[in-house]
Structure 1
Amino acid sequence: MDRRKVIGIGVGLAVLPTWWALRQVANGTKRDWHTDTAPLERAFPLLGPLTDAKWVSSRDNDRGIPSPELVISGFARLSPGKLAELAAAHTFVSEAPADGFSSWFEKPLKGEGPENPQWVRSHELDREGSGYFTKLWFDRRSDTVRFRALNPYGWAGH
């Protein structure tokens, strides 16, 4: 093979990964989490309209393991004044989440969320939440809720 062809192929192979990475950035590569708030507002109607969200689902990047269960986990920002409204109607206690994001699908959330949160929780709100197993933690300083819910839309799924 001609030496120029070999050099040309080598340069092409060296440039291709850089071109692909730049193209992904330019096209806005899909993040590892969802940012849409509508599914969360449907799952947690008591939280009212949400202004921001980062969340994942156990059905994201499905690993081929069939399961009727859906788990959603993440963070959402409450609208101004909503946490005060909830605190006036429900009892809150200081309680941080017992674990980090330990499930395989929750890995993208590690390191996300409010800085130095001061978590509080209302067990009443957990019982009133949608789904069969809902946990909600609130950070008063940032109006952020951290959530984890099993089958938040009922058994029909997402």
Structure 2
Amino acid sequence: MSRRGWLMLGGLLVLGGAGTAACSSEGGGAGRERREVNTDVEPLRRRFRAIGPLSDPHWLGYDPNDSGREWIPDQDPRVRVVGVARLPAGAVSSLVGGTAYSFEPSDPSNPPEELAEFLPENAGWVASVRYDKHITGSRYPGRFHLSPTTDHVYFDTVNPEVVEASPST
């Protein structure tokens, strides 16, 4: 075999091995591996500044379209940032009690199983489309549920950007 033939064969073997390694390291079809829950508050404070001072966060950041089987990354990656954090005592009640956002009862839909143990029981979640737009600046999709009884916020966003706090509307 010519030198060129050996080089091509070697290149194919390397590419084939890389694809196999990527699949097996990501759980390749044998079921999704459990994602690690983050507790770093700073990335959330930068993106959700308008919510107020957050503490005790538990959140995930991942590509919701990643099945773990592809070895070629998406050209248009999406990052879902979903989780729960606390606000100062009474902050949620004072916000929800106002008339600016028209909060209504609304439970978070399909929270990831990794976050289940961090969601407060009997939270009495409420949400508002106007409040969602206030937090996101209408720049990215996001839903924010607040609990007046526990002062928790549950957030579910895609590609959240750093958005400066805007005045209440």
TM-score by length of 1: 0.65
C-alpha deviation, 1:93, in angstroms: 0.8
1:138 is aligned, of 146, 156, 161, to: 146
The Cα of 1:110 is off from its aligned counterpart by 2.6
Distance 1:46 1:81 in 2: 16
Letter in 2 for 1:150: V
Match of 1:93 in 2: 104
Report the equivalent of 2:41: 37
How far off is 1:100 after superposition? 1.9
Secondary structure of 1:129's counterpart equals helix
In structure 1, the gaps of 5 or more residues are 1-30
What SS does structure 2 have at the residue aligned with 1:34? coil
Match of 2:156 among 118, 141, 148: 148
How well do the aligned residues superpose, as a CA RMSD in angstroms? 2.3
Contact 2:54 2:85 in 1 (8 A): yes
Moved more, 145-154 or 69-78: 145-154
Partner SS for 2:132: helix
| Aligned with 2:123 (options 89, 103, 117) | 117
CA distance in 2 between partners of 1:96 and 1:55 (Å): 17
Partner of 2:81: 72
Identity %: 31
Shift of 1:114: 0.3
Equivalent residues of 2:51, 2:135 under 8 A apart: no
Q: Shift of the alpha carbon at 1:79?
A: 1.5
| Equivalent position amino acid for 2:141 in 1 | F
TM-score (norm 2): 0.61
1:133 aligned partner, one-letter code: P
Give the deviation of 1:32 after TM superposition. Answer: 2.2
Aligned residues: 118
Unaligned regions of 5+ residues in structure 2, if any? 1-34, 163-169
List per-residue Cα deviations over 1:2-51 (Å, max 9, x = no partner).
xxxxxxxxxxxxxxxxxxxxxxxxxxxxx820111111111111111112
Moved over 4 A (4+): none
Question: Which stretch has the larger CA shift, 50-59 or 64-73?
Answer: 64-73
* Farther off after superposition, 125-134 or 62-71: 62-71
Specify the SS of the correspondent of 2:39.
coil
Tell me, yes or no, if the aligned pair for 2:63 and 2:77 is still in contact at 8 Å.
no
